[in-house]
Structure 1
Amino acid sequence: SGIDVATPNDAPSDKARCLIDQELQRLEDTIRALRSHRNVLAPISQLPPEMLSKIFAYRVAECADSTNPLEWIRVTHVSRHWRAVALDCPSLWGNLIFTRPRWSKEMLKRSKMASLFVKADLSCFTPRIFDAVRLALLHASRIQNLQLRAGSANIERLLTSGPSFQIPMIRSLSLSVPRSLRFGADEDFTLPDTVLTEETPYLRRLELHRVIINWDSQLLKGLTHLTIHDVTTSARPTTDQLMNALERMPAIEVLDIQDALPQPPDGPSSPDRIVNLPQLALLSVTSTVPECVNLVSCITIPASARIHLSCSGTETTGGDFSGVMRVISNPRGATYRQEKDGPPERKVIRVLHIQHEVPISLVVQGWTDALATDEAVPRVNAPDIQLHFSWHYPSQTTVESITASVCKAIPIARLRSLRMAYVDGFSTKMWMSTFGLLHKLHSMHVAGQSAHALVAALHEEIQIETSTSPSATPEGMKGIRRPGLCRKRSAVYFPQLKSLTMEDVSFVDGDTSATTTLSDLQNCLVERSERKAEIQELRLQECSHLLEEDVKALRNFVPSVDWDEIVQGFSEDEESEYGFNDMGGYLFGGYDVYSEDLDLGLDLDFSIF
């Protein structure tokens, strides 16, 4: 019945069960010992503990930025040996996890005297998380990497809880105040004079977001990476203060300044001194045009450095970016003077993307490496040159003129791939003068109305005068035209163009400057084929007024035509004329064969449905 009833034989039975349990335990211990001994004989168990710890460290690094940064702890569950090795390696436990406060305290204990990595986002937190971060900061002498993101009041509470917060072993420091918190906007954080005042000889990376710092601080010394974003105008440095700081960073590799540059002097002026930054690999600046020009006129930029500039025009400059262009066109900054041995080798842009972001913004991106196969594949690596220009007076600025001046400033003589998107005012003459003579240009991608001007430029001929017999020209007559000595021959613009992509192009019939007719495109393809400059690949993406029979006709002139089969842009009358309707019905002579009102008088011996 499921109910235990006491019997006189219970005592012997209990004794027997106890003996059996003891024997089972002995057997389990024996099996466990045998398994442990078997694991010892495995090849991986022959690794020294130092090497095994190194492997565990790689696993810790892999999990650091994942959704579960503690996943690596599973290695301690594999065997007693692995667990002992992990517990005996304090450096594995130095990357504290504050999302689980109980674990962060345990990891702090297991790290013993190892270096600490403290990364805490307190934009949204609980009191237990805040206490765990505060406990970790009490071990400031062991912290090598500190990243705090919190409201200004909470950062101040953490850094000023003791008499003087110092981190002498720090290598990387990041302090960030979010633009907005849960309960509204927050003010900038001012680093107190009593905090981080001692020497930090190992500090190489400093990132400050909405943090006001004394520009004479010892933190601004010996850095290789400096990021300063969003500093109020009143707290920005003077030009002399910024130059003093940069002089204390001769090995700077990354300089990222966003809305933190000093106000330039009124009127034209020459810099009092030039700061040489020979190791600079990336210059990233977001500012107004005058602020940007003022900075780059005071520093030298190596030819190998990547340049990312985001400049906005002011009421004074409007859409004039000539000062920035001079900086870009100069391979070593505004102060470079050409040496007798010739100009230095510059980065050569092989892939160029230009996009007009309506109404008052232009983005230019350039890469020095060309894709080995399909140039139409989107780029994923950071560009070597990135320019973002914006202005406030569109009536006074033409995007096509800015585009042309940018292309003259950057080195595109060996350009291989070009993408031009929605620079609709780019004329035929601009196409020819800017890109038409580039003998390495292999592929082009054009989006928007400027495709019409490009097709016209592909038609144009270059007239070249050649001498029929240069050796027969007398010495005194060289350079003088004489009948019979010169003849004209024609060549095409874009001589090496093999791949053309047209996106969001309207193929409306008619003589308009904003559209490209199919006959224009066909004539262009035929003429280039006859001139031995055939386009071998044609891609059509999201184009309007384009039908399947039109694409079939294009295949007669281009070996490879790739069409996305999107049919769009037709009016209702055009849809009826060309033989299709919104419901997918087939049309004959403008009549829907599925319509009940249609009676063609045909004797069909099959059912339509």
Structure 2
Amino acid sequence: MSLVFFIVFGILVCAKLLPRLTHSSLLSSGKSIDWALAPIQRGLGESGTQHLVLVTPLQLTSSKSESGGSSNEEIVRLADLRVADLRESIRALNCHRNDHIPIAKLPVEVVTEIFLIHQQNCRNCETVKNPLCLRYKKTVVSLAWIGVTHVYRRWREIALNFPGLWVRIPFHNRKWAEKMESRCHPSFPVVSATCYSDVPKPEAQRLKKFLKKHLSRVQVLDFDHSSPRSIANLFQNHLEPTSVPHLSTLRLLTAWSSNLDLLQIVNSRLLNTVSLRELEFPTTFRWDLSLFNGLTHLKLVNGSISDQTKASHREFLDALRRMPTLQCLHLNGPFLPEAPDASSLEPVHLPNLRDLLVYDTVYIIDFFLRHVNFPPATRTTIHCRYEGLDFQLAHISPILPPLKEILKNRPQDRKLHHIKYNDFPTSGRVGLSFQGWISSDHTAGLEGGESNADFPSSTPDFTFSVEQCYLESLENSNQLAMGIFELLPQDDIFSFSIDGHVRHISCVVLARKLAQLPMLKALSLGHINSAPIVVELAKVRQPDDDSSPQWSMATFPALQYLDFTGFHFQDTHLDLTTLYNCLKKRSEHGLGPGRLRVNLERLGYAYEDTEIELLLEELVEVVWIRDIETSHRTLNAHSDSEDSPEDWDFGCGPDCFYCNGFLAHP
């Protein structure tokens, strides 16, 4: 027992004395612990980094004994000095390390481009939680991108020496406005501000002072949600006529309409606008202004305030001739008077036009289409407004032939393959809209995806709509919708989607029209009464049956995908059994659809038997849409009817087009 005790005691003594003896031997030999850092110091080379020394508390204690007993304050002071030295050494090592990581090898041009992208992302993000993201006038003014200057020494040097990063002056923030004004030299600043009566006076003063001093250097002048009178006051009373050779973009949007001719006021103060390429304004009363020269983008966004325009049609065409490289032209009318010119006018050709929007009366649209030539592949949006009563197809007939010719001449790779139809009420009136998208024969819509996935882009490549019109009869409504539909090359349509409810067109008329489209592969029905669609689907000619010559060709010959998601089965006598019989008949003749999409929540009365669903799944590929609150599947049990489709009673109620010739049931 005593032997074990002595062994344990010896181990503890050695563990206590060994570190002190080792350190004493190092001190007695004259060696410093910083020998371990020698390889690092040699790696630093001639970087100028000071010599690194590691110091232990024992060294400080020994220095105390050598000095005859220093005070505690002296020990703390020496320790703080040594800590500061070590921190500086660590900082130097970190800098040395950062200089050798891959991101530090990026060229300055690449780094500045990354900074600009990050800056743009911060400006576009309204949810950035950062003290430098200030909510201002219902928008977020973000300065969070400035954080890149506090990450890494080289990044800070690049950012501070890149004027293009500091050109957007935040006039709402005095400190940063002054900093950026000094840092943006010699680059050309971007002025983005709001001129409004309740803008704080210091901010308004900073804006006026800056424009007086730097207007000649400004590259972008952007006023958003501004007061018309405040804009007029700024340019008329505070700015002298100034040459602006670097101005490339002028954007001025007002919060409301005004009879002030703001564009003429601004035109009188901005001289020598040789670099101006983009102009966005509420409207113009005149087309002979010097601003209408050499533009590539022109947008008039609020034509409701230009009822007093006195511009002639000749001035308008002459202005377009002065902009031969125009790529984007948006004209929200009225931008011309209704009265025609007596003289004949030569047409204008805009070979570079890529984006066109015209919103005006039938007469103005007709004048534009006959006197302005542009490539057929141009993204075209035509909004036609009509203020009269009992709107008919004849009222828009003048503009249909030129539009049809434009669509017909589109290049093969720019054909409209995907169509969306929408009708909507507007203040007691109605609107009809057909939109078209360009795409190859893709399968996004054939796989049962969401409606937005059926289209390659959120912006249509072609739009024709009629707004604010009274439709007093069913016949006129059908003729109008089908007349617009005829604009679209029927052989190019691969998919057709109905957006929302169909209120102003007969479901039967629409179903018969769609059934004859030779290349239609995908059909999404929205909230339309789908029973007439099933009637057309069932029209399949038997091989040796000549009793129905009107069915000489099968309907929907290319259909692959059918979407019933928005259809309420319980509102009609159409059920899954009837649908199954119809699709089975088509399948026997080698006809689709092969894919189906159905919302279980809209199938109708509760019914536990799922046999018909299983049969349907064996016949076609079905995507069942279930609500998360669904407790059981619901089916409408109207069984194995062998009646002819033409004998079906759709049970749509008194408002159904098919049964009573009025509004289709949603």
How high is the TM-score relative to the length of structure 2?
0.70
Asked if 1:291 is matched to 2:364, the reply is: yes
Give the letter aligned to residue 233 of structure 1.
D
Cα distance, 1:178 vs structure 2 = 0.8
Cα distance, 1:145 vs structure 2 = 1.2
Secondary structure of the equivalent of 1:60? helix
Deviations 1:474-533 (A, max 9, x none): xxxxxxxxxxxxx99944111111211124434459xxxx76465653442232122221
**Cα distance between partner residues in 2 of 1:496 and 1:203:** 51
Deviations 1:125-179 (A, max 9, x none): 3223222322332311221111012112221233231322442211111011112
The aligned counterpart of 1:361 is 431
Cα distance, 1:112 vs structure 2 = 1.6
**Cα distance between partner residues in 2 of 1:91 and 1:447:** 49
Given candidates 310, 331, 344, the residue that maps to 1:257 is 331
**Cα distance between partner residues in 2 of 1:383 and 1:40:** 49
**Cα distance between partner residues in 2 of 1:84 and 1:35:** 17
Unpaired runs of at least 5, structure 1: 1-9, 466-486, 569-573, 579-609
Unpaired runs of at least 5, structure 2: 1-68, 127-132, 134-141, 639-666
> How has the CA–CA distance of structure 1 residues 208 and 234 changed in structure 2, closer, same or farther, with 3 Å as cutoff?
same
Alignment of 1:22-37 (within 5 A): 22-37=81-96
Secondary structure of the equivalent of 2:387? coil
Is residue 366–residue 398 contact of structure 2 (8 Å, CA) maintained in 1? yes
> How has the CA–CA distance of structure 1 residues 249 and 12 changed in structure 2, closer, same or farther, with 3 Å as cutoff?
same
The aligned counterpart of 1:226 is 298
**Cα distance between partner residues in 2 of 1:21 and 1:554:** 80
The aligned counterpart of 2:222 is 147
Give the letter aligned to residue 374 of structure 1.
G
Given candidates 101, 111, 117, the residue that maps to 1:58 is 117
> How has the CA–CA distance of structure 1 residues 106 and 356 changed in structure 2, closer, same or farther, with 3 Å as cutoff?
same
Given candidates 622, 625, 640, the residue that maps to 1:564 is 625
Asked if 1:136 is matched to 2:226, the reply is: no
Cα distance, 1:252 vs structure 2 = 0.9
Which deviates more from structure 2 when the two are superposed, residues 313-322 or residues 77-86? 313-322
The aligned counterpart of 1:382 is 459
Is residue 235–residue 266 contact of structure 2 (8 Å, CA) maintained in 1? no
**Cα distance between partner residues in 1 of 2:267 and 2:593:** 69
Cα distance, 1:300 vs structure 2 = 1.2
Give the letter aligned to residue 372 of structure 1.
T
Cα distance, 1:390 vs structure 2 = 2.0
The aligned counterpart of 2:188 is 115
- Superposition RMSD in Å: 3.8
The aligned counterpart of 2:539 is 460
> How has the CA–CA distance of structure 1 residues 37 and 238 changed in structure 2, closer, same or farther, with 3 Å as cutoff?
same
> How has the CA–CA distance of structure 1 residues 134 and 534 changed in structure 2, closer, same or farther, with 3 Å as cutoff?
same
**Cα distance between partner residues in 1 of 2:109 and 2:565:** 58
Cα distance, 1:107 vs structure 2 = 0.6
The sequence identity of aligned pairs, in percent, is 23
Is residue 438–residue 494 contact of structure 1 (8 Å, CA) maintained in 2? yes
Secondary structure of the equivalent of 2:472? helix
> How has the CA–CA distance of structure 1 residues 441 and 75 changed in structure 2, closer, same or farther, with 3 Å as cutoff?
same
Is residue 537–residue 559 contact of structure 1 (8 Å, CA) maintained in 2? yes
> How has the CA–CA distance of structure 1 residues 33 and 410 changed in structure 2, closer, same or farther, with 3 Å as cutoff?
same
**Cα distance between partner residues in 2 of 1:447 and 1:49:** 53
The aligned counterpart of 1:322 is 397
Point out the structure with max Rg over C-alpha: 2
Give the letter aligned to residue 283 of structure 1.
L
Given candidates 169, 193, 197, the residue that maps to 1:96 is 169
Which deviates more from structure 2 when the two are superposed, residues 163-172 or residues 251-260? 163-172
> How has the CA–CA distance of structure 1 residues 213 and 84 changed in structure 2, closer, same or farther, with 3 Å as cutoff?
farther
Asked if 1:81 is matched to 2:154, the reply is: yes
The aligned counterpart of 1:169 is 246
Deviations 1:25-50 (A, max 9, x none): 44443443343333333343344544
The aligned counterpart of 1:474 is none
> How has the CA–CA distance of structure 1 residues 503 and 22 changed in structure 2, closer, same or farther, with 3 Å as cutoff?
closer
Cα distance, 1:102 vs structure 2 = 2.0
The aligned counterpart of 2:591 is 533
The aligned counterpart of 1:198 is 271
**Cα distance between partner residues in 2 of 1:496 and 1:550:** 32
Asked if 1:420 is matched to 2:498, the reply is: yes
Alignment of 1:508-547 (within 5 A): 516=574, 520-541=578-599, 543=602, 545-547=604-606
**Cα distance between partner residues in 1 of 2:251 and 2:559:** 48
Given candidates 524, 542, 545, the residue that maps to 1:445 is 524
Deviations 1:204-236 (A, max 9, x none): 110002x54642111111111100122421135
Asked if 1:431 is matched to 2:506, the reply is: no
> How has the CA–CA distance of structure 1 residues 232 and 530 changed in structure 2, closer, same or farther, with 3 Å as cutoff?
same
**Cα distance between partner residues in 1 of 2:543 and 2:591:** 17
Cα distance, 1:54 vs structure 2 = 3.7
Secondary structure of the equivalent of 1:331? helix
Given candidates 237, 249, 253, the residue that maps to 2:311 is 237
Cα distance, 1:190 vs structure 2 = 5.2
Given candidates 410, 413, 417, the residue that maps to 2:488 is 410
Asked if 1:373 is matched to 2:432, the reply is: no
Give the letter aligned to residue 589 of structure 2.
R
Give the letter aligned to residue 168 of structure 1.
P
Secondary structure of the equivalent of 1:264? coil
The aligned counterpart of 2:382 is 309
Give the letter aligned to residue 502 of structure 1.
F
Deviations 1:307-352 (A, max 9, x none): 112211232782332233223201189xxxx9xxxx9758422111
Cα distance, 1:17 vs structure 2 = 5.3
> How has the CA–CA distance of structure 1 residues 36 and 503 changed in structure 2, closer, same or farther, with 3 Å as cutoff?
closer
> How has the CA–CA distance of structure 1 residues 329 and 546 changed in structure 2, closer, same or farther, with 3 Å as cutoff?
farther
Secondary structure of the equivalent of 1:217? coil
Is residue 309–residue 336 contact of structure 2 (8 Å, CA) maintained in 1? no
Secondary structure of the equivalent of 1:235? coil
Given candidates 393, 400, 419, the residue that maps to 2:470 is 393
The aligned counterpart of 1:589 is none
Secondary structure of the equivalent of 2:92? helix
